[in-house]
A and B are shown apart, each in its own frame.
Chain A
Amino acid sequence: MSSNKMRLSGWPLLLPALALLAGILLVPLGRTLLDSVSEPTWTLKNYENIFTDGVTLTVLGRTVMIAAAVTAAALLIGYPYAYLMTRVSPRARGILLVIVLIPFWTSVMARNFAWIIILQNGGPVQKVFALLGADHVVLYGTSAGVTIAMTQVMLPFMVLPLFSTLGSIDRRLLLAARGLGSSPTAAFWKVFFPLSRGGVVAGVILVFTLSLGFYVTPALLGSPQQSLVAQLLAQRTTQLLDFAAAGALGMVVLIVTLVLVAWANRMGGTMSAIGVVATSRTKDR
């Protein structure tokens, strides 16, 4: 990376940002880590419990499964959508972009309540399924319903990095491939798709890691019996006040995330593609 070679003479400019990061991220993180191994005494018991209490591991597994399903669904929907965005007129592209961004700018709470209305018993989705002959399709309160709603919430995080990557691929390479004997389909899979890998990895990482820690949607749409890691964390901190156990669980999730990011870096997932999201994002979850 050429940025590694950048001269460091401007580093004092980074001080405010570093101070902020230290204050709101590193210090609390350090505290959490410390608590997780020192409460009530110096021990690794809190970590041991994760693997032995019979619940946490199940929840972790379920969380990873749902995050993976959400990521796969977002990729399957987001890739063609982002591809379409690069192929249409600038006007149509603007419209498609706004369609992605409007939910992005809308409060997650508002969107989740909308999903409750859509998925609830007797709601429109159930009616449509009934019309098709499938009675009593229950989505509200199930992992399937959570997955659907989370996919919609996460879609912008997939579409934006993909759009920026796909848009920067030199389409003349496709012509070259055609001239060398590739059918349009072969040219896509052998040239275009491999070149979009950076955007795919960036989108996958963003959606997957955000999904791992997602709280609002599973809490509102899922059932307590199907809770995910974030709900477990909330329960341990706000109801059981067991900060040490929660800290240990948080650390495990953090480690999973860091491993993924490291993998993404190795796969050439461009951090700049992730950066696109930051600039188009004005509101927090």
Chain B
Amino acid sequence: MTHDTTVKATGSSPGTRSGTEIRLDHVTKDYGLEAPAVDDISLTIEPGEFMTLLGPSGSGKTTTLNLIAGFETLTAGTIVLNGADVSNVPPHRRNLGMLFQHYALFPHMTVAQNVAYPLRERRADKREIARKVAEVLELVQLTGRDDHHPAQLSGGQQQRVALARAIVFEPRALLLDEPLGALDRNLRSALQVEIRRIHREVGSTFVFVTHDQEEALNLSDRIALFNSGHIEQVGTPQQLYAEPETLFTARFLGDSNVFELGQAALDENLTWDGETWGIDPGTVAAHPGVRTRSAIVVRPEDVEVVNRLDEVPAGANAVRATVRDVEYMGAYRTLLLTMGERRLPGRARVSALHGDHAVGDDLVAWWRPRAQRIVAA
């Protein structure tokens, strides 16, 4: 997915609001625990890009965002905004917008006062403030709520106010730390659409933290996948899903069938549990770890099932399987399988038109070598 960095605000705010490049260079944050919270991360976020920091709990996403914002001090490394090293610049001089899961609205101020706050801190003149506040409240669809206090608003409305406050001063970038985490499912997807739209309209760099893979896939231009303090892989959602470099990435995004290979030669055919399978060289990850320990990953939607081995097309990789359970999902169903002699758990997604499969049925699962991915394990 390519992102057009020349997208400009379509609202009435003239001038350039194009994004800022954020560069993390060997960034480390050590709290003195067993392992650093963020361990030697290097990442360049392009101007105007929607970058998501995705990863399990405790993997260092918030710490990284706080380092960018300046709320935490670096143990090592540098943070560069549009070419300027800001590593030692205090947060109030970095000119970055921040959105928190807990909204962080000032309870003693009205909606309008909250949104005006960053403008007042910048000594904007009164008429300018009034104009911008009205404009941004319209952008987040909260016109007419100016005089409400945060406690009188729903969670979703509060987060809209926080969003308005975070963008009203045209920050160099917007940092969002699980901003939708406290909202229910429907509201979350509505606000996802909204955040995406606002990103398009203001055109500034967004750095979005979440541990929700679906949210990351929906929103991002690119995703940086975090794993215990380091970045596992950076890429577009499609890249991460279709071309994972490591088993961690493959498992974190979507479901997969995983066949561990250990240390295997990956030049022509390989064997797994007595089966001989073909390799498509284009599907072998570039990650150096592949040579020492690897695994085959196949997405459930790439797996087909047939009743007998001789029905498998030539050139496909196949494994014997038994149906363990069937999940009905409307248009398709997911067969939960045990595969091969090792009785490995697996899954295949088949069309509902594809005939019936009962628990206990013996079948053959197969897929094309180019549908599989060989990753570092």
By a beta-carbon cutoff of 8 Å, the part of chain A in contact with chain B is: 170, 172-173, 175-183, 186-187, 190-191, 194-195, 197
Interface of A is mostly: helix
Task: Render B26-42 as a binary contact track against A, CB cut-off 8 A, 1 for contact.
Answer: 00000000000000000
Of A178, A179, A186, the most chain B CB neighbours within 10 A belong to A179
B344 CB-CB contact with A under 8 Å:
no
Q: B121 contacts which chain A residues (CB < 8 A)?
A: 180-182, 186
A175 contacts B169, CB within 8 Å? no
Q: With A172-B100, A186-B121 known to touch, is A181 a contact of B108 (CB < 8 Å)?
A: no
Of A170, A178, A194, the most chain B CB neighbours within 10 A belong to A178
Residue among B92, B95, B106, B165 making CB contact with A183, cutoff 8 Å:
B92
Residue among B96, B100, B122, B169 making CB contact with A176, cutoff 8 Å:
B100
Residue among B92, B97, B102 making CB contact with A178, cutoff 8 Å:
B92
Q: B169 contacts which chain A residues (CB < 8 A)?
A: 180-181
B71 contacts A178, CB within 8 Å? yes
B92 contacts A181, CB within 8 Å? yes
A181 contacts B107, CB within 8 Å? no
Identity of the chain A residue whose Cβ is nearest the Cβ of B108 in the assembled complex? A194
Q: Can you name 29 A-B residue pairings with CB atoms under 8 Å?
A: A170-B102, A170-B104, A172-B104, A173-B104, A173-B106, A175-B91, A176-B98, A176-B100, A176-B106, A178-B70, A178-B71, A178-B90, A179-B71, A179-B91, A179-B97, A179-B98, A180-B121, A180-B165, A180-B166, A180-B169, A181-B121, A181-B122, A182-B121, A183-B90, A186-B92, A190-B117, A195-B107, A195-B108, A197-B108
Q: B165 contacts which chain A residues (CB < 8 A)?
A: 180
- CA of A182 to CA of B118, assembled, Å: 8
Identity of the chain B residue whose Cβ is nearest the Cβ of A174 in the assembled complex? B104
Identity of the chain B residue whose Cβ is nearest the Cβ of A175 in the assembled complex? B71
- CA of A10 to CA of B56, assembled, Å: 50
Tell me how many residues of B have a C-beta within 8 Å of chain A.
23
Q: With A175-B71, A194-B108, A195-B108 known to touch, is A180 a contact of B117 (CB < 8 Å)?
A: yes
A179 contacts B96, CB within 8 Å? yes
- CA of A183 to CA of B92, assembled, Å: 6
Q: B305 contacts which chain A residues (CB < 8 A)?
A: none
Smallest beta-carbon distance B117→chain A, Å? 6
Q: A176 contacts which chain B residues (CB < 8 A)?
A: 98, 100, 104, 106
A180 contacts B118, CB within 8 Å? yes
B102 contacts A181, CB within 8 Å? no
Identity of the chain A residue whose Cβ is nearest the Cβ of B96 in the assembled complex? A179
The B156-182 residues at the A interface (CB cut-off 8 A) are: 165-166, 169
Identity of the chain A residue whose Cβ is nearest the Cβ of B165 in the assembled complex? A180
- CA of A237 to CA of B117, assembled, Å: 58
Identity of the chain B residue whose Cβ is nearest the Cβ of A173 in the assembled complex? B104
B69 CB-CB contact with A under 8 Å:
yes
13 more A-B residue pairs beyond the given contacts A181-B121, A183-B92, A186-B121, with a C-beta to C-beta distance below 8 A: A176-B104, A176-B106, A177-B117, A178-B71, A179-B69, A180-B92, A180-B118, A180-B121, A181-B95, A181-B169, A182-B92, A183-B90, A195-B108
Q: A190 contacts which chain B residues (CB < 8 A)?
A: 117
- CA of A112 to CA of B367, assembled, Å: 91
Q: A183 contacts which chain B residues (CB < 8 A)?
A: 90, 92
- CA of A186 to CA of B123, assembled, Å: 13
Smallest beta-carbon distance A193→chain B, Å? 10
Q: With A172-B100, A186-B121 known to touch, is A178 a contact of B107 (CB < 8 Å)?
A: no
- CA of A197 to CA of B95, assembled, Å: 30
Q: A187 contacts which chain B residues (CB < 8 A)?
A: 92
- CA of A285 to CA of B164, assembled, Å: 53
Smallest beta-carbon distance B106→chain A, Å? 6
Smallest beta-carbon distance B42→chain A, Å? 24
- CA of A225 to CA of B248, assembled, Å: 84
- CA of A194 to CA of B114, assembled, Å: 14
- CA of A191 to CA of B104, assembled, Å: 11
Q: B71 contacts which chain A residues (CB < 8 A)?
A: 175, 178-179
Chain A to chain B: the 9 pairs with minimum beta-carbon distance, closest first: A176-B104, A181-B121, A179-B98, A180-B118, A178-B91, A194-B108, A181-B92, A178-B92, A181-B118
The B57-96 residues at the A interface (CB cut-off 8 A) are: 69-71, 90-92, 95-96
Q: B104 contacts which chain A residues (CB < 8 A)?
A: 170, 172-173, 175-176
- CA of A190 to CA of B116, assembled, Å: 13
Smallest beta-carbon distance B288→chain A, Å? 39
Identity of the chain B residue whose Cβ is nearest the Cβ of A180 in the assembled complex? B118
